Amino acid sequence: MTTAIGVVITDHIAAARLKELQLAGKVLRYPGGDPDAMEGLEAIPDSELIDILAGQIASLARGNAGPDRVDSIEADSIDAIGVAVPGFVRSGVIEESPNLPQMKGTRLADQLTSALKERGIAAPVHIANDADAIAAGVAATRDRLDKLTRVWTIGNGIGYGRWPHAEGVWEGGHISVTLDPKERYCGCGGVGHLEGIMGYRAMRMRFLDLEPEEVFANAKTGDTRCRQFVDLWHRALAAATASFIHLAGPGRFYFTGKNVGFLELPLLRTHLETMVRMTPLQSFSLEILPPDDEIALIGAGVSALRAMRQESGSREGGSYMRSSMPSSRP
């Protein structure tokens, strides 16, 4: 029996206890209440955020998750703690996080480990990118842990996640999809990036007179300028997806995130088919996942358990993980 705690930081914090990779008990949320009414995390200093995380984890570890709890467990029986954060994460350090700028440079794994130690919790802490956590959660819940799983998250920024974990940067949202020098709306400042076309913030900068929701609604009623942009939006995603197909092969791509409602799969598929013409690469499939915290929570736990086993595997000669780990490349 493995018990992990999964935590996801997006525009809010969600945390839950996982038993055998299933949610066990109530999901804790910060701030509480309406999950759509939260835009305040970026205003909270990083030390305070770590304190909030440690408090939630400690509460879950002690089985204090409220009246819905299924049972109570001792804090020392937690095998691993996984935290999924938006941004570029390496070795437990958040190297870049445009949507949580105060976390840039934070040694989150170390600092959270110390904060938890003060609360009597010694389980290993693993930090994952949020899109990677969703890919891990999809793989775990669909019995695909041995397959390459790729996820696009469509929100304020555009995230690209993959399972299994592979060394690399994988900033798929910043892949160049156009050579047009006028395409410079990406939050990172790069020209021609996918996020500069698809990201929510980028769309607001492009259409100063319309909200992104209005752009997509007007396109449906025949407005030419909006229709052309919606087409560009889908072509950009098709181009980025085609690039990953040409690099790592076909397979299944999942699409999720707060703004996945803008996505029309048939339109995406039509563009993708014009871009991927080699027969062996045409066996790709596309699927929309409704955005929710559960898959990412499970994925954060899966990533943490996998990282923990990998570490103990390498200490013990690696025999356990080598036999049960999928290869890190397709």
Residues 118-177 binding Zn ion (CB under 5 A) are 174
Residues 224-283 binding Zn ion (CB under 5 A) are none
Question: Which of these segments, 29-37, 186-194, 271-279, 287-295, binds Zn ion (CB under 5 A)?
Answer: 186-194
Identity of residue 132: D
CB atoms within 10 A of CB 74: 10
**Nearest approach, Cβ of residue 195 and Zn ion (Å):** 5
- Strand 93-96 and strand 88-90: pairing? antiparallel
CA atoms of 136 and 141, how far apart (whole Å)? 9
**Nearest approach, Cβ of residue 174 and Zn ion (Å):** 4
Which residue's CB is nearer to Zn ion, number 128 or number 186? 186
Which residue's CB is nearer to Zn ion, number 31 or number 190? 190
Which residue's CB is nearer to Zn ion, number 150 or number 174? 174
Indicate the DSSP class of residue 327: P
Instruction: Check residue 186 for interaction with Zn ion (CB under 5 A).
Output: yes
Which residue's CB is nearer to Zn ion, number 126 or number 193? 193
**Nearest approach, Cβ of residue 38 and Zn ion (Å):** 25
Residues 189-218 binding Zn ion (CB under 5 A) are 190, 193
**Nearest approach, Cβ of residue 201 and Zn ion (Å):** 11
**Nearest approach, Cβ of residue 184 and Zn ion (Å):** 10
Question: Which of these segments, 180-188, 262-270, 274-282, 315-323, binds Zn ion (CB under 5 A)?
Answer: 180-188
Which residue's CB is nearer to Zn ion, number 198 or number 219? 198
Do 287 and 254 touch, CB atoms closer than 8 A? yes
**Nearest approach, Cβ of residue 192 and Zn ion (Å):** 9
Cα dist from 5 to 23, 38, 87, 89, 218, whole Å = 9, 23, 20, 19, 43
- The SS3 call for residue 51 is helix
Which residue's CB is nearer to Zn ion, number 169 or number 188? 188
User: What is the full DSSP assignment across 96-156?
Assistant: E-TTSGGGTT--HHHHHHHHHHTTT----EEEEEHHHHHHHHHHHHTT-TTS-EEEEEESS
**Nearest approach, Cβ of residue 86 and Zn ion (Å):** 14
List the Cα angle 9/133/141 in 5-degree steps.
120
Peptide bond into 291 cis (omega under 30): no
Contact residues toward Zn ion (CB under 5 A) are 174, 186, 188, 190, 193
